[in-house]
Amino acid sequence: DQQVKQNSPSLSVQEGRISILNCDYTNSMFDYFLWYKKYPAEGPTFLISISSIKDKNEDGRFTVFLNKSAKHLSLHIVPSQPGDSAVYFCAASVRYGGSQGNLIFGKGTKLSVKP
């Protein structure tokens, strides 16, 4: 059973437009959500996060929105740039017992930003 779902395996956007990447989760115990960016043959790098007590967090061109009632979060990138082309992973923090801090990842969405 997948607890974190990214239903779009790929997304193509024109440079300068907005990119919206979506993520759904099923576990209501999740209280921290993160987005990671991954280039081929490299490890993922942390991009932006949001606590469950907030519904929006913004960092430059990147904004994450959280809708707890819908168990949905999204990452907005505006304006999109060709260098943003990468695989984006959504992750949620599971907090219980000895696995505190473990992250559960979605399958990723490959973003292509075309010049």
Query: Considering the rule CB under 8 A, would residue 102 count as an interface residue with other proteins?
Result: yes
Rounded Cα gap, residues 101 and 93, in angstroms: 6
The encoded tokens of residue 48 equal 């932006």
Q: How far is the CB of 1 from other proteins (least distance, A)?
A: 13
Rounded Cα gap, residues 91 and 27, in angstroms: 12
Window of 13-21, 58-66, 77-85, 99-107 that interacts with other proteins by CB under 8 A:
99-107
Please tell me what DSSP assigns to residue 81: -
Instruction: Lay out the site mask for other proteins across 20-39 (x = CB under 8 A, - = otherwise).
Output: ------------x-x-x---
The count of other CB atoms within 10 Å of the CB of residue 48 is 18
Half-sphere exposure of 73 (CA within 13 A, CB side): 31
Query: Considering the rule CB under 8 A, would residue 68 count as an interface residue with other proteins?
Result: no
Residues in contact with other proteins by the rule CB under 8 A: 6, 9, 32, 34, 36, 41-46, 49, 89, 91, 93, 98-99, 101-108
